[in-house]
Amino acid sequence: MLDVRRVVRGGVKERDGVLICSALGLRHRGSDPEAVADGLCSDELFVRLGGRSWRLPPWFTSRSRQLPSGTLPAAMACLRHFGSGMSLILATLGVALAVGVAFRLLALIAMASIGLVLAASILVHELGHVLAYRILMGAKAPAVLIVRGASCRVLRLSGPWRADVTVVLAGSVAPVVAAACAWPLFGLAPSAVLLGTLIALGHVVGLVLPFGDGAALREIAHGR
């Protein structure tokens, strides 16, 4: 039997039904949707069988966790947490790729490859935000990682505008750096390298869009 439970994140205080995260200046009633959206609590999915229950990864429901101190621990936590949300998608794409290779289904191979590279680019994108934030704002600067399936978000403190701009840009630049590092392998897998490069450039193009990192840049510009 499936059971959805609202779980309060570590580091959050609860007072008279109100969840408070003083480090990030957040305060919402535990029953409000904003409490989940801002990572104060999570709607987590459990499977109950007999007298035991198991918590499922955040494939369909949200889960938040506090970003640990330090650059390397923060980077590893980012990959683990966001990877857990995308694990079902990654596994499905991996199986599709294996089936495509086994039966020589070129269309399936192409679609699975695009999906895997796109999913990997999302992880690298969020890792770029986290690394830049840790380097520029300090090893103990508070932040929250919020994931739901392929939807990944880093909720953090604002800093000097130059640092904020760099943190936003780092997410889009990180896939480009990763793609550039893959170019020495062009002779071995030209299609994969070109695909990764095109998807990486798509992250940069996303900076001009009216949502995501593009919206964040405009908010920083208007707040100066």
Question: pLDDT tens digits for 18-58?
Answer: 999 999 999 999 999 999 999 999 999 999 888 888 999 99
Residue 103 has pLDDT above 90, yes or no: yes
- Output phi, psi for 39, to 5 deg: 75, 15
* Averaged pLDDT score across all residues of the chain: 94
Of 43, 223, 205, 199, the residue nearest 122 (C-alpha): 199
The predicted-structure confidence for 152-210, as pLDDT tens digits, reads as follows: 999 999 999 999 999 999 999 999 999 999 999 888 889 889 999 999 999 999 999 98
Strands (E) in 139-180, as ranges, are 143-148, 151-156
Burial class (CB in 10 A: 0-12, 13-18, 19+), 37: middle
163 neighbors 136 (Cβ within 8 angstroms): yes
For the question of whether the overall pTM of this predicted structure is more than 0.85, the answer is: yes
**Confidence class for position 224, pLDDT limits 50, 70, 90:** low
Q: What angle do CA 83, 88, 91 make, to 5 degrees?
A: 95
